[in-house]
A and B are shown apart, each in its own frame.
Chain A
């Protein structure tokens, strides 16, 4: 499995931008209706920044640039959250040019811990963690069973997809959606959805 971080991030950015309307509609139902707009703005800034950085940088440097750019350009909660996640993931792969099951797992773990600390959230609160934590667990179980990196990612994506479905069944207790209480049931979480889109795009990119 050959992944160029620069190209993978460009594909992720494009997927987020393509889903701008969808994410915003999900957020309008239970939040402040800006998730897609904010994420698209963030990843447009990321695209521009990466172009000036150049494609030949190590994974850590590219992800650090992504994180800092998201923090400074998104404008909603997803900026500090995803920004912190990418910065923490970057710290695991500074100077590295290749991913394996071990460092990819460490990146996911670091990113999730960053999101938990920044958002003071845990799984089951209808957030991106409801997609990312199951994804991480499936990834690690697959890695332990000595599956290929691509297979690990496939299983992680499936777990994230199920995690997004699960968010439809629970009450939001974090963020703007928590103001809705029980009325948030039945809606899928926009943050969990964007997390799934990121993982799914990475998977699709990795298959090519």
Chain B
């Protein structure tokens, strides 16, 4: 199954989204929160994101959900520092972080490929709320 990593500036946001997404997940599905800095401060942490991506990859790849600006830059920096082979198996979804994460987790739970999981996550931006 494709793993899902949630990168937010806030540890609480990342963990909260993970909790919501877990309701839709299969047992054992990899959904990993990488929020905030080591000391609980707001920010994004290269080491945390890197460890989360590695832990989320069970061989089928990882879809990374991001919140604002530097979450994207931090994740892209992490990808640059990973081996080329590993980098190929990780994709950042250009999606709203909460809706995207839930969509990605549902799609991944069906055993879909990384490309399809990312596409579904990105489709979440079109969900109508009212």
Contacts and interface: CB of A to CB of B under 8 A. Distances in A.
B76 A79 contact: no
Contact of A79 (B41, B42, B46): B46
Interface in B21-47: 37, 41-47
12 contacts: A34-B43, A71-B46, A71-B77, A72-B45, A75-B37, A77-B69, A77-B70, A80-B70, A83-B77, A84-B77, A118-B73, A119-B73
A104 B77 CA distance: 24
A80 B74 contact: yes
B76 A80 contact: yes
A77 B69 CA distance: 7
B20 interface: no
Contacts of A76: 43-44, 70
B68 interface: yes
A72 B44 CA distance: 9
A203 interface: no
Interface in A78-122: 79-81, 83-84, 118-119
A130 B9 CA distance: 26
Nearest to B50: A72
Contacts of B43: 34, 38, 74-76
B57 to A, nearest CB: 21
A176 B77 contact: no
Contacts of B69: 77, 174-176
Interface in B41-100: 41-47, 68-70, 73-74, 76-77
Contacts of A32: 42
Contacts of A71: 46, 77
A14 to B, nearest CB: 23
Contact of B46 (A72, A77, A119, A176): A72
Most buried by B among A34, A77, A83, A119: A77
